[in-house]
Amino acid sequence: MTEYTEQILTGAPRKQRAERMRIVWLITIPLIAVLSQVYVPRFVPFLSYLELPLLITVHFALSRHGPMSAVFYGMSIGLVQDSLSHQPIGMFGIVKTLVGYFAASVSMRFDVENPIVTFIICFFFYFFHQFFYWVLARALLGQAMLFDVQQTLVFGLLNALVALPLFKVLDKLRVVR
Amino acid sequence: MDFFLSRYRNLTVLLIVIVAQLVLIAYQVKTSRDVPLIRVWAVTAVTPVEQVLEVVRRYTWGFVEDYFVLLGVKSENDKLKHENGDLKLQNNYLKSELSTADRARALSVFQAHSQSKTVAARVIGNGTGANSKVVFVDRGAASGVESGMAVVTPDGIVGKVVDAYPTASLVMLITDPTFAAGVISEKNHVRGTLKGQGHSECLVDYVQNEEAVDSGEWFYTSGDDRIFPRGFPVGQVSAARNGKTFKEIYLRPSGMQGGGVEEVLVVLEGVHQQIPDSEMATPGYKILAPPADGVTHASIPEPGGTFLATDADRLRQQYKQAGAAQNHVFGEGLPGSKPPDFSKIPGIRAAQPPVPSGRGNGPSAPVPASAPAAANSGPAPTTSSASKPPASKPPVNADQSVVAKPKPKPPAPPLTGDPAEPDTEAAPRPRSSQPAAAPVAPKPPRNP
């Protein structure tokens, strides 16, 4: 195990909960993310690939809030997304619940402040999110949805790229306790 | 159990949450019902913010956007104006092409249905001269065109050929001041001479002030000029008033609607046609409808198949019968030989042949309505009885009423066929002796 690898796996955890986001931001930011998802593509259709609620969920989970809170946070964001969609309520909820749980679990083992790790985690969870949603749609709703792997991979890369500056901005909103 | 829950608390919560959502989805799918509460909350929470965002966007970014849009409006307006001009040009060109195609089709249809032999020609240029109205057409002597031929369109006459060159011809239009043609009115068959005026209207001259010509009435070629076949439309009366000596009748030439012509027909061999039927001029008193068989006493068929059109014919027939009774052959006796004794002719009335019931022309054979009265009342008339109707008795049909009018000049000799004017003083031929498709003259529009 090299020194760098060791640093990634066992590096100093992210400020060890000394910094937490205010509750108002915890509510407002997901709302803005959902709003941007339903509002921005009206004027910039190209940005419809952005899955900001997912990135917010991942960021929250990586902030060492704990798996429990990440589960409920992801579930809440997912349910709000479901409410504004035409699908049965719970589809995004289940997917984001799992994403929140696994992201929180990953954050326990990796130095998630490393940009490369953040990029890989975001890319992976975007792919997981899309794939699991496709599985649920086929299994639970019987919908013959298409899953374009190449497009999903490309969009995953783009979302991971967006996640790097976004996480920096969101980290700024945290306050020291 | 407590150990398990405390050790796998996170996983347990995750499972509970997942299962709860699965149950929620199963419920929705199973019952096909929604969970309106969650949706209402979410929508109620999101849409006001969305509305605010939209208002802000409209008054900020939308304003900026409108400003930049307005910056480009002038150039876009100029571009659209230019494009509009191009489209107008294109539209006019297409309209012109369509009009040309319509005219060409009308011309070919008219050419196919007309009895006259014609050749289509296209106007290729105007003649020089300040006041002259002449044009060149692309058909000349090589196509059989000769000087003096009529030039017409389906709408009416256009002019006449004044010079024929090998590949082109010079056509004098009817608006030329030196142009003249014989015309006849539609209702009362009033004859006159059409003269060009140098502008868009023509004058019908030499019509007595006593003649009745109404505004809007149509004039047709009379065939008197030996150029235009009878029956071609000439134009519609735009104004008619009494003059010092003759009526002043102004005509709008129907063949030159729009001020000019492009495609014409040169009449190589003209065939006279009938003037289209029209309503009679109101005589001022009630007249009876014509009899069903439409007979006149002017055309009584002979047993031999000949027709005694006039009283002179009947008189000649009587002399022939008298000669035949005395075995005399007309035209063989030498001068000085004894002629047949015509004093034995019993009399005109007695020698009048009986009217056959079904011979000759069958149902169309005319039977004189007033023949018995005329036969018993005195000497034979010198003209048909139709020319002298009883004072208290109106003419029996339209033709007779027109015949009763005195004519200023006799009918012109035929051009190719016989004009066969129904109102000439000579007795009309029966219908079987008319050209096969004589009434082919296209009836011009009443209100062009």
Count of CB atoms within 10 A of residue A141's CB?
15
Where would I find the H helices in B176-254? none
> Residues 69 to 88 of A: which have CB under 8 A from any B CB?
71-72, 75, 79-80, 82-84, 88
Contact B46/A84, CB-based, under 8 Å? Answer: yes
A140 touches chain B (CB under 8 A): yes
CA dist., res. B91 & res. B208, Å (int): 49
By Cβ distance, the residue of B14, B45, B49 closest to A97 is B14
B89 touches chain A (CB under 8 A): no
**CA B173 to the chain's CA centroid:** 20
3-state SS, residue B80: helix
3-state SS track over chain A: CCHHHHHHHHCCCCHHHCEEECHHHHHHHHHHHHHHHHHHHHHCHHHHHCCHHHHHHHHHHHCCCCHHHHHHHHHHHHHHHHHCCCCCCCHHHHHHHHHHHHHHHHHCCCCCCCHHHHHHHHHHHHHHHHHHHHHHHHHCCCCCCCCCHHHHHHHHHHHHHHHHHHHHHHHHCEEEC
| Tens digits of residue pLDDT in B167-194 | 888 888 998 888 999 999 988 889 999 9
Which residue is listed with tokens 């096909």?
B32
B13: closest chain A residue by CA: A68
- Which residues on chain B are in Cβ contact (under 8 Å) with A93? 21, 24
Residue B11 φ/ψ region, left for φ over 0, alpha for ψ in the -120 to 50 degree band, beta for the rest:
alpha
Residues in Cβ contact with A111 at an 8 Å cutoff, skipping those fewer than 6 apart: A7, A8, A9, A10, A11, A12, A13, A14, A117
B93 touches chain A (CB under 8 A): no
Closest among B318, B295, B293 to B380, alpha carbons compared: B318
Residue B294's pLDDT is what? 45
Contact A98/B14, CB-based, under 8 Å? Answer: yes
Residue A34's pLDDT is what? 86
Residue B149's pLDDT is what? 92
What the block records as the tokens of B336 is 């000085």
- As for the ipTM of the complex, it is 0.80
Q: What confidence category does residue B116 fall into, taking pLDDT thresholds of 50, 70 and 90?
A: confident
This model's pTM is above 0.90: no
Contact A90/B22, CB-based, under 8 Å? Answer: yes
A34 touches chain B (CB under 8 A): yes
Closest among B225, B259, B253 to B237, alpha carbons compared: B253
Residues in Cβ contact with B187 at an 8 Å cutoff, skipping those fewer than 6 apart: B212, B214, B217, B278, B279, B280, B281
| Exposure of B401 in the CB half-sphere (CA atoms within 13 A) | 20
What the block records as the tokens of B290 is 């014509």
Residue B411 has pLDDT above 60, yes or no: no
By Cβ distance, the residue of A68, A93, A140 closest to B13 is A68
Q: Name which of A89, A101, A102 to mutate to probe chain B: the one with the most chain B Cβ atoms within 10 A of its Cβ.
A: A89
Residue B437 has pLDDT above 90, yes or no: no
Q: What is the CA radius of gyration of chain B?
A: 43
A31 touches chain B (CB under 8 A): yes
Contact B28/A88, CB-based, under 8 Å? Answer: yes
DSSP assignment letter at B269: E
Angle, nearest 10°, between helix axes A67-83 and B36-59? 70
Per-residue pLDDT of chain A (177 residues; tens, 9 = 90+): 555 555 555 554 544 445 677 888 888 899 888 888 877 877 787 888 889 999 999 999 988 778 888 999 999 999 988 888 878 889 999 999 999 999 998 888 887 788 899 999 999 999 999 999 999 988 888 877 788 899 999 999 999 999 999 999 998 887 765
By Cβ distance, the residue of A39, A71, A93 closest to B14 is A71
